[in-house]
Amino acid sequence: MAMTEVQDQLEGNVGIGDLAPRVRQDTMLINMGPQHPSTHGVLRLQLELDGETVVKCTPHIGYVHTGIEKTIENRTWQQAVTCTDRMDYLCPLINNLGYALAVEKLLGCEIPPRAQVARVILSELTRLASHLVWLGTHAIDLGAMSVFLYCFREREGIMDLFDLTTGQRMMTSYIRVGGLALDLHPDFPERTAQFCRAFPAHIDEYEALLTNNEIWQERTQGVGVITKEQAIALGVTGPSLRATGFEWDLRKQQPYTGFEQYDFVVPTRTAGDCYARYQVRIQEMRESVKIIEQALSKLPGGPFRTSDRRVALPPRMEINTSMESLIHHFKLVTEGVRVPAGEVYVAVESPRGELGFYVVSDGTNHPYRCHVREPSFVNLQALPPMMEGRLIADAVACIGSLDPVIGGTDR
């Protein structure tokens, strides 16, 4: 079969007839993914190569689209929390938090201090767990096998902490509208403190393996460069934006759930390459440990759920004595929370950038519309400008350094 026919077939396969005239005859089209270990999920890239240089990169996503936004519309407000876990499966608690904050903003309900501090601890632990998976997989993609093993060793420790207090390793659904699902496990603060004491030494280990490693530097320095202007135009947020020299972290700029009370630095680098993104994330892990330690030292007692009766169940004693409380309890359990009509956009800083929830309520017991601005989805648009004009061998470094989670992009 002639080469052109192969190309036509490839084009026909993906149904992008409009793009066909742009395919040059002296280049080669290759398909990377969706089942490729370094695409971190089922991301498919159509690469047009001139020799070993990538001329054009076309990402194709949607292979794990599960209609989560549609599903949320068909659940009650509290049930929908479980859907948010399953989007970006590496940071379930931050997804829970973003959704809960959006609904709480619609409700206008106050969250008790214990729940606020617990939310900070949990979201920073999630950030650590997510960055550890990123570092391990990014390193293994570029040939540094041992880093992967070390990272997953520490991640297991965080998973055990989640298991202890939420009952789940990954699909936690622990941060609910109005507070937390359960109170923190009595052993959780002490075991988290133990983890935090040990963890900085482990970051030193990863750095000893990578930061001054000549091969690592050769593979990442000057690779996948985007400028600050490009990043902003493409909507890139999170560590990838901070690696271009722009200090923008929602925890600092638009603090939520009490982040303004903690002392931490927003690390930035100016190179905008894969190495800069690596450095930013390593520093972020150190800062997250600092935040967790501060939060643990001030973790107050008291309720872990709001006392707002639109969300909270009446206490048992009241149900025994008051008919109205019994009816209220019955309505909340069977129908669920009713949220006043309105719409809000609330954003939190996920390990990948701005995670936004645009939630519309029509005043009933289920969300009317819930759109999720997934940082993985938006950041992935920066992949073609990073890769085009560079060697195909750098493609893997670029994907890894953007840290996309395909469960998040596809939802």
In the bound state with another protein, the residue whose beta carbon lies nearer, of 292 and 402, is 402
Angstrom distance (rounded) from CA 57 to CA 257: 39
Q: Segment contacting another protein (CB under 8 A): 118-126, 170-178, 353-361, 395-403? A: 353-361
255 counts as binding another protein under rule CB under 8 A: no
Q: Which of 292, 300, 299 is nearest to 263 (CA)?
A: 292
**Which of positions 322-351 make contact with another protein (CB under 8 A)?**
342-345, 347
Give the binding-site size for another protein (rule: CB under 8 A): 44
Binds another protein by CB under 8 A, chosen from 136, 178, 356, 367: 356
Hey, how many other C-beta atoms are within 10 angstroms of the C-beta on 218? 12
What are all long-range contacts of 224-233, with beta carbons under 8 Å and residues at least 24 apart? 224/273, 224/274, 224/386, 224/387, 224/390, 224/394, 224/397, 224/398, 224/401, 224/402, 225/271, 225/272, 225/273, 225/386, 226/272, 226/382, 226/385, 226/386, 227/272, 228/272, 230/382, 230/385, 231/272, 231/382
In the bound state with another protein, the residue whose beta carbon lies nearer, of 171 and 232, is 232
Q: Which residues pair with 370 in a beta bridge?
A: 359
Binds another protein by CB under 8 A, chosen from 253, 270, 307, 322: 253
Edge-first strand order for the sheet with 369-373 is 342-350, 353-361, 369-373
Binds another protein by CB under 8 A, chosen from 31, 71, 261, 294: 71
Structure-block tokens of residue 366:
């289920």
358 counts as binding another protein under rule CB under 8 A: yes
Angstrom distance (rounded) from CA 317 to CA 409: 46
Q: How far apart are CB 101 and another protein at their closest, in Å?
A: 12
In the bound state with another protein, the residue whose beta carbon lies nearer, of 103 and 276, is 103
**Which of positions 12-31 make contact with another protein (CB under 8 A)?**
14-16, 18-19
**Cα-only R_g, the chain:** 23
In the bound state with another protein, the residue whose beta carbon lies nearer, of 99 and 275, is 99
Q: How far apart are CB 253 and another protein at their closest, in Å?
A: 6
369 counts as binding another protein under rule CB under 8 A: yes
Greatest Cα pair distance in the chain: 84
Binds another protein by CB under 8 A, chosen from 364, 373, 388, 391: 373
Rounded to 10 degrees, what is the CA torsion of 387, 390, 393, 396? Answer: -20
61 counts as binding another protein under rule CB under 8 A: yes
307 counts as binding another protein under rule CB under 8 A: no
Binding characters for another protein, 200-229, by CB under 8 A (x = yes):
------------------------------
Q: How far apart are CB 200 and another protein at their closest, in Å?
A: 31
CA 108, 114, 119, 120 dihedral sign is positive
Angstrom distance (rounded) from CA 268 to CA 77: 37
Q: How far apart are CB 172 and another protein at their closest, in Å?
A: 25
Binds another protein by CB under 8 A, chosen from 69, 163, 183, 293: 69
In the bound state with another protein, the residue whose beta carbon lies nearer, of 141 and 374, is 374
378 counts as binding another protein under rule CB under 8 A: yes
Binds another protein by CB under 8 A, chosen from 51, 194, 362, 393: 362
248 counts as binding another protein under rule CB under 8 A: yes
Q: Is 159 exposed, middle or buried (0-12, 13-18, 19+ CB in 10 A)?
A: middle
Angstrom distance (rounded) from CA 22 to CA 56: 10
Per DSSP bridges, beta strands 28-32 and 53-60 are: unpaired
74 counts as binding another protein under rule CB under 8 A: yes
Q: How far apart are CB 366 and another protein at their closest, in Å?
A: 12
Query: 217 Cβ partners below 8 Å, 6+ apart?
Result: 275
In the bound state with another protein, the residue whose beta carbon lies nearer, of 49 and 232, is 232
In the bound state with another protein, the residue whose beta carbon lies nearer, of 13 and 307, is 13
In contact, 402 and 379? CB cutoff 8 Å: yes
Q: Which of 383, 390, 393, 388 is nearest to 56 (CA)?
A: 388
Catalog residues that contact another protein under the rule CB under 8 A: 14-16, 18-19, 61-62, 65, 67, 69-71, 74, 105-106, 108, 232-235, 246, 248, 253-254, 342-345, 347, 354, 356, 358, 360, 362, 368-369, 371, 373, 377-378, 380-381, 410-411
